[in-house]
A and B are shown apart, each in its own frame.
Chain A
Amino acid sequence: MELAALNLVNATLNWVTSALDAPSARAVVFGVHIGGHLFVEVLLLVVILFLLSQKSYKPPKRPLTKKEIDELCDEWVPESLIPSITQEMLSEPPVLESAAGPHTVINGKEVVNFSSANYLGFVGHEKLLESCTSALEKYGVGSCGPRGFYGTIDVHLDCEARIAKFLGTHDSILYSYGLSTMFSAIPCFCKKGDIIVVDEGVHWGIQNGLYLSRSTIVYFKHNDMESLEKTLERITSENQRAKKLRRYIVVEAVYQNSGQIAPLDKIIRLKEKYRFRVLLDETNSFGVLGHTGRGLTEYCGVPIEKIDIVTAAMGHALATEGGFCTGSARVIDHQRLSSSGYVFSASLPPYLASAAITAIDALEENPDLTLKLKENIAILWKGLSDIQGLSIASNLESPIVFLVLEKSTGSVKSDLQLLEDISDRALKQESIFVVASKRSTLDRCPLPVGIRLFVSAAHSEPDLLKACESLKRIAAAMLRQTFRSSQQQHVTVLNSAGQHSAVESFVFPREMPVLASH
């Protein structure tokens, strides 16, 4: 039976083969022998192509009808433009009635002013006022145009040349606002794909610039060189093949948010080892550090050519407005066309540029202003070093003296409230004008808030001593209350627990009696 079936199959196959073979037996096309199997293969190919060309089944698309879109638009309810106003949003800052010099008038009373970053005392300086007056009479107030379209006035060019000459760099570029300097300079050089290593305590201008640049951002611990080294090591080992990758380190010379000073010589050594470029923000150190006021590079003994880009806002030591950026010729020329805050914005008013020139001239003529500033800082340090409840978080030489709470009350908000109460009381009762540092909701800095005192070379010694005494008094009064209330909590805990464990943890002010354990 099987044999018969097998014979039948064989016979059919033979017949098919011979039938197919017959017409084209021994035909050779292009050196390929045409056999019968070729027809089967060609048929198979045709079938496959036919199947592929068939459209796969897709469920039909049904776009929304006009009525449906109308309904969706009607149903949609937007959030309100701003969240509801809470109590702390209603607080108003104190209003000055005179120039923001070392003494100023608030509400008719004269107070000692520690909230203006007037480091060299140029506010109210007569030479500055003279040059501003003559510039106002010659040029009017505004410059009425961006730098590319007749907004470049000769004082701008003079100011840029003066700054470059003072710092010893090739060229510099003026921006019309201090805050926009950093957030325009960074996106100009850092693009998508570049790597930026930045300190976690930088101010908002730098944070915004980093965000706008769309590069990869890596933070390292605030002013911690080991953390920086580890981070650089990690990045370099991860990106071995990246020759075209640009790598930057961004630091501030004197940090606005804490008063620490960056150790520039260590940073330069790391930078040269790992081949990164350095962007330095010298807002609070220009005119302050270094024996002629040339900033952090002079203070640390680093030649300024080693820093690739230096920026600074002029609203601090130089007592005008605006900012500048300085570096090599290539760096500056590139910014003149690609920096959005420079190209698309009106230029600095000419009287402010001439004020800057006069301020630098004045600084060069009397370099002992920086010495006086250093002495003032030292006096303040000595006076405030034993203040209760607060400790000085800034560097010994920084012109911003930053006081933080020794023990936080738990949340940033309540800390801020406490500090603001302290500064309010200082203003109203003791006529000392200090401010607590405020944070925007957009700011991502993790450093603690504190009270900032901006020391000026124009403060006299009695001013400083008075400030120290007043602050000590207020801190003792206000912070003791906080301690006392939290003490009592601690005591009740002990009582309810009924334990005799030693009362530990925080500082007892000396006046309080030592609690006997129950």
Chain B
Amino acid sequence: MITIPYLTALSTYFSYGLLFAFGQFRDFFRKIFDWWQASNLQGYAPICLGLEDFYIRRLYLRIQDCFGRPIASAPDAWFDVVERYSNDNNKTLKRTEKISRCLNLGSYNYLGFAAADEYCTPRVIDSLNRFSASTCSTRVDGGTTTLHKELEECVANFVGKPAAVVFGMGYVTNSAILPVIIGKGGLIISDSLNHNSIVNGARGSGATIRVFQHNTPPHLEKVLREHIAEGQPRTHRPWKKIIVVVEGIYSMEGEICKLPEIVAICKKYKAYVYLDEAHSIGAVGKTGRGVCELLGVDTADVDIMMGTFTKSFGSCGGYIAGSKELIQYLKYTCPAHLYATSISPPAAQQIISSIKVILGEDGSSRGAQKLSKIRENSNFFRSELQKMGFEVLGDNDSPVMPIMLYNPAKIPAFSRECLKQNVAVVTVAFPATPLLLARARICISASHTKEDLLKALEVISQVGDMVGIKYFPAEPMKQLQHQHQQPGKDTIKSE
């Protein structure tokens, strides 16, 4: 739980209030101005009613240049950010031809497979020449190639389950699977900070949805007991089934989920566990097999394991791994399998090759090196930031680190100042996070070298001083050596 300092909360509320007031003021004038000029809607209702896009028009557009920055190269450790300029106060941004080489702290490139790789890319180009860029067909029609079969076996092996099925996009995987396995009369209990794709899938299924406090197993137990005892709302019939949905690493918090406790509770109350390992597969665990390996949970206890290939494998797509019967059933009914084009063959080959590299089956030890590198890098970076006095969230070993900003004015300040010094960071605000808790999110990669990290630390420290986000007192420098020799498992989370 994050509790923010009183003064910061007050100033954040004040800032938002001021922006809101200004926005309303300008809307009022805009209404008068528009009434003056006849509107050209001719009897149609407007596409966006007044207040629906208030946030977008009045708050987001002011800082639009911090988001959606285009790049002109592969999203590797260093990349080229295209410069943009605006003539009308950030309402529209135009591209220029100029690019600036920046350090990439924002892309999901945990194991460094984002750019062309010496083992993967030749094989990918081979498969492109053999199977072409797309099969133009669904999996059940003519879209299953030998590559797809190999990929599913490979993924099932890697994750530790009997069988797996692969889809072309991670978002659709969640949205199309949940309606198939649960329907009306079922209960979905999901973590309060779950990703939008899970929320969409749960809504699309028609089941009742309840939420438990983020990563708090006792509250999950309480919710389960209450709901099993009460039954379905209004009719009080017993539930058909209960599925608990959690994520491996939460992308906005950097926290690793408390899987052993949650699995124990679900076993006790006979609920099914659905684990979404979008960020954790390939990035944590001794051999990269995700949170189950990291926390010592037997994969047979988790009923459905889902993950995506975008983050650690440098490709695209999502998978579901489970028992053979489950996968058989999904292949028979899941709409994403029956109606959507199958995953592109070069992307499939990239996944196979990257899994081979991670497991060391390509004959080198690059996989093990990458895995230990990302662990080292994350732990080093996190501890250094905390020493400088930043408020950093997340557990040890997790490559995602959010730095709290809180104030809406600090969001563009941090982002623009870092970009001026050639460091590209990602800042997140409402609605992806709660209103008061805006943050900058750093994603560490195995391809960052020590010099890159030191440069990043220097720039962030400088900008942090300028912007004023060092909410905690910094530790004095002489303790630096002492701290390095004691890698502890303590997580400094503000209570």
Contacts and interface: CB of A to CB of B under 8 A. Distances in A.
A145 B68 CA distance: 10
Interface string A47-80: 0000000000000000010001100110011111
B369 interface: no
Nearest to B139: A93
Contact of B225 (A69, A96, A129, A340): A69
A98 interface: yes
Given A78-B240, A141-B314, A144-B314, A150 B135 contact: no
**Size class of the B contact interface (CB-based, 8 Å):** 35 or more
A142 B309 contact: yes
A340 B199 CA distance: 11
A95 B137 contact: no
Given A96-B142, A124-B132, A275-B44, A139 B73 contact: yes
Contact of A442 (B76, B106, B179, B310): B179
B204 A211 contact: yes
Contacts of B409: none
Contacts of A73: 224-225, 228-229, 269
B202 to A, nearest CB: 11
A145 B76 CA distance: 12
A90 interface: yes
Given A82-B325, A140-B115, A180-B169, 10 more contacts: A78-B242, A100-B132, A123-B134, A139-B74, A142-B350, A144-B311, A150-B424, A150-B426, A153-B72, A321-B133
A502 interface: no
Interface string A309-326: 000010110011100000
Interface in B144-185: 144-146, 148-149, 168-172, 175-176, 179-181
Interface stretch (B332-340, B389-397, B482-490): B332-340
A93 B342 CA distance: 13
B117 interface: yes
A334 B172 contact: no
Given A132-B128, A246-B47, A344-B171, A212 B136 contact: no
A346 interface: yes
B272 interface: yes
Interface in A440-464: 440-443, 452, 454
A82 B70 contact: no
Give me the 7 closest cross-chain CB pairs, A-B, nearest first.
A115-B142, A315-B341, A177-B169, A345-B171, A179-B340, A99-B132, A346-B310
A176 B316 CA distance: 9
Among B47, B149, B311, B326, max chain A CB count under 10 A is at B47
A402 to B, nearest CB: 13
A451 to B, nearest CB: 11
16 contacts: A82-B326, A93-B139, A95-B144, A101-B132, A104-B142, A116-B141, A129-B133, A136-B346, A138-B74, A140-B115, A142-B347, A150-B107, A153-B70, A330-B47, A337-B60, A338-B56
B300 interface: no
A97 B145 CA distance: 6
Contact of A443 (B128, B335, B424): B335
B336 A179 contact: yes
Contacts of B449: none
B180 A442 contact: yes
B131 interface: yes
B315 A142 contact: yes
Nearest to B48: A334
A242 to B, nearest CB: 8
Interface string A339-360: 0110111101101100100000
B116 interface: yes
Interface in B78-114: 79, 81-82, 95, 104, 106-109, 113-114
